[in-house]
Amino acid sequence: MPELTVVGAINLDLTARVFRAPERGETVADGVLTRQPGGKGANQAAAAARLGATVRLIAAVGDDPDGRLMRAALADAGVDVAGIQTVPEVTGTGLIVVDREGENSIVVCPGANAEIDLTAVIVDAHTPVLAQLEVDPAVIEHVALATDGLVVVNAAPALPVSPRLGERVDVWIVNESEYTQMSGMRAAPLVALTLGAQGAILLSRGEEIARARVAASGVVSTVGAGDAFSAAFTVGLLDAFEETLAEESDIVARVGVDRLAGILHRACEVGAAAVADERSQPGLQTLAEYPTERAGSPTVLVGAAE
């Protein structure tokens, strides 16, 4: 069972489900409101734990009922919550609108997420790290530079990062808009580029090496899909690392294109499963329960050899 440290945001998600999202300046009055645990850090930590990893989360919540609710929900998902700080600022909030097709728009109010105290952050010197950019990139840099383990960053939202952090990241996970907004993506050693319903592709230094697509059925909400994908891809890499020689620093050379393609497909399977759940932190099986390929939607290797 791989170990993983997640660094990111915890939010209370206030989600309004509507038939049609309002246009600019328009009001719609058919919303159904839900309150549920969210935030990209929390979502990815919960997903990774449900997929089978041993997960510790570095984050912050407020000293308020929402913060206590978020902490309890993560503990119930199997996440080690000892690294979650309690700060004077209120717990972060995500304001989400989901339409009848499951598509969403989100506004994040950071709250406590912007108040993580670096002096109180404890980092294992060898831990793998999965982070997102909903918290100050300085926090991610602090953690990434304190470990010699794998560092994966889901660049959501797209924000500038320091050269030191950019050079330390082993794997980037981005969508199409983030890929164009983040500098250095075309030179990155490994990028998982998500394409929504079209699946995902793997890029090594700008060259596509694999792609996968899994058709989702019964789309309820896409809010948690990208986070589930990120967790699954990271845990899949860690599983592969446990079976390969650590001396090889290049991930493509260490894991191999065929194995990476299977990891990509399995992450797409997890993302497709997540959209059938209305929650930001969907219920998931262990990672091994999801296939590395499926008849009718095989993973494709593109112009690369091991």
For residue 14, being part of any structural domain is answered with: yes
Give the per-residue pLDDT at 306: 34
Give the per-residue pLDDT at 38: 94
> With 60 as the cut, is the pLDDT of residue 12 above it?
yes
**Dist. CA 29–CA 162, nearest whole Å:** 44
**Dist. CA 151–CA 40, nearest whole Å:** 16
Number of domains in the chain: 1
What is the average pLDDT score of the chain? 92
Tokens linked to 300 = 């494709």
Task: Classify residue 163 by burial, with Cβ atoms within 10 Å: 0-12, 13-18, 19+.
Answer: exposed
Give the per-residue pLDDT at 168: 97
Lowest pLDDT segment from 97-111, 161-175, 201-215, 258-272: 97-111
Dihedral sign (CA 46, 52, 58, 64): positive
3-state SS assignment for residue 298: coil
Give the per-residue pLDDT at 217: 76
> With 50 as the cut, is the pLDDT of residue 77 above it?
yes
Give the per-residue pLDDT at 299: 58
Closest C-alpha to 44, from 266, 274, 239, 227: 227
Contacts of 33 (CB under 8 A, 6+ apart): 14, 15, 16
At residue 6 the predicted structure's pLDDT band, cuts being 50, 70 and 90, is very high
**Beta strands in the chain, from DSSP E residues, in sequence order:** 3-7, 11-17, 32-38, 54-62, 84-87, 92-98, 104-109, 129-132, 151-154, 171-175, 191-194, 200-204, 207-212, 300-301
CATH number at residue 121: 3.40.1190.20
> With 80 as the cut, is the pLDDT of residue 297 above it?
no
For residue 250, being part of any structural domain is answered with: yes
The range of the structural domain enclosing residue 150 comes to 6-22+31-301
For residue 208, being part of any structural domain is answered with: yes
Share of the chain residues as helix, strand and coil, in percent rounded to the nearest 5: 35, 25, 40
The share of the chain scoring above pLDDT 90, in percent, equals 81
For residue 1, being part of any structural domain is answered with: no
Mean pLDDT over 254-280 rounds to: 92
> With 60 as the cut, is the pLDDT of residue 304 above it?
no
Tell me the pLDDT tens digit for each residue of 14-68: 999 999 999 999 999 999 999 999 999 999 999 999 999 999 999 999 999 999 9
Tokens linked to 303 = 């112009």
For residue 204, being part of any structural domain is answered with: yes
Hey, what's the torsion of the CAs at 69, 71, 74, 78, to 10 degrees? -130
For residue 10, being part of any structural domain is answered with: yes
For residue 306, being part of any structural domain is answered with: no
Mean pLDDT over 295-300 rounds to: 54
Tell me the pLDDT tens digit for each residue of 103-140: 888 899 999 999 999 999 999 999 999 999 999 999 99
Q: Which residue shows structure tokens 């915890």?
A: 10
**Dist. CA 174–CA 233, nearest whole Å:** 12
Give the per-residue pLDDT at 305: 36
Lowest pLDDT segment from 238-242, 278-282, 286-290: 278-282
